């Protein structure tokens, strides 16, 4: 946990430095493009800061999940819309899509902490977008008494030679582990898994009881 917090703090410092430089340039050369870029980086900094605070709060006693009756499909579709707009604004060719099978396989409702699960999935999608070639697929279903979320990218896979990949996936994994540990039911706890095949991309799976 301490390693993950140190990595997030390092990323926050770098992001602040980059944002400071962009704002300085915006003062001298104000353009809509520069303003949009600074806004996007500010939003990314906010996302990382929320991750930091979440993990910092979980470092001793763990997170406390406040579970309510939620719609998994509504959350998934909301994430898909937000990421589609974000990537479009950034001019990214990557698409984030919801598998159509979700409509038939996702349970209508499930008890989980909407805020924590959204944080974990947002981190997983962020990592997937970073390494995807063209597409990130997200879905949710019910299997063996668990609510199962999946995020799959069509990137090179975990074995690809990218020195920044371990840190990126590590941060998302640390956050997801804290989230699943906070969800328990009838003696069962949530679990996460990362699966990858060379050239076939990576799949992040998070199962909640």
- Average pLDDT value for residue range 69-75: 93
The pLDDT value given to residue 73: 93
The residue that leads in pLDDT, 136 or 7, is: 136
Please check the confidence at residue 137 and state whether its pLDDT lies above 80: yes
Would you say 19 and 47 are in contact if contact means Cβ atoms under 8 Å apart?
no
Paired tokens of 80: 């898909």
Give the residue among 79, 63, 70, 67 at the shortest CA–CA distance from 174: 63
Mean local confidence (pLDDT), 104-123:
88
Kindly report, residue by residue over 154-172, the tens digit of the pLDDT: 998 876 555 444 444 455 6
Q: Which residues contact 28 (CB under 8 A, 6 or more apart)?
A: none
**pLDDT band per the 50, 70, 90 thresholds, residue 94:** very high
* Model confidence at 47: pLDDT above 50: yes
What does pTM read for this prediction?
Answer: 0.75
pLDDT reading at 153 higher than 60: yes
φ/ψ of 159, rounded to 5, equals -85, 0
Q: Which residues pair with 189 in a beta bridge?
A: 184
Band (pLDDT 50/70/90 cuts) for residue 101 is confident
pLDDT band (50, 70, 90) for residue 55: low
Q: Is the pLDDT reported for residue 186 higher than 90? A: no
């Amino acid at each position: 946990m301490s390693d993950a917090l140190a990595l997030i703090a390092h990323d926050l410092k770098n992001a602040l430095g980059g944002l400071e430089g962009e704002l300085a340039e915006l003062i001298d050369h104000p353009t809509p493009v520069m303003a949009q870029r600074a806004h996007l980086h500010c939003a990314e900094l906010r996302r990382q800061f929320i991750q930091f605070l979440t993990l910092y709060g979980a470092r001793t006693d763990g997170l406390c999940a406040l579970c309510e009756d939620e719609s998994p499909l509504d959350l998934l579709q909301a994430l898909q819309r937000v990421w589609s707009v974000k990537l479009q604004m950034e001019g990214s060719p990557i698409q984030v899509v919801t598998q159509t099978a979700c409509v038939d396989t996702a349970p209508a409702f499930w008890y989980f902490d909407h805020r924590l699960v959204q944080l974990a999935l947002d981190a997983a999608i962020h990592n997937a977008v970073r390494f995807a070639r063209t597409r990130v697929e997200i879905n949710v279903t019910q299997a063996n008494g668990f609510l199962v979320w999946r995020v799959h990218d069509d990137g090179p896979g975990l074995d690809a030679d990218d020195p920044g990949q371990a840190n990126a996936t590590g941060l998302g994994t640390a956050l997801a582990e804290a989230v699943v540990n906070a969800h328990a039911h009838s003696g069962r706890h949530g679990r996460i898994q990362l699966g990858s095949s060379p050239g076939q991309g990576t799949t992040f799976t998070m199962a909640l009881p």
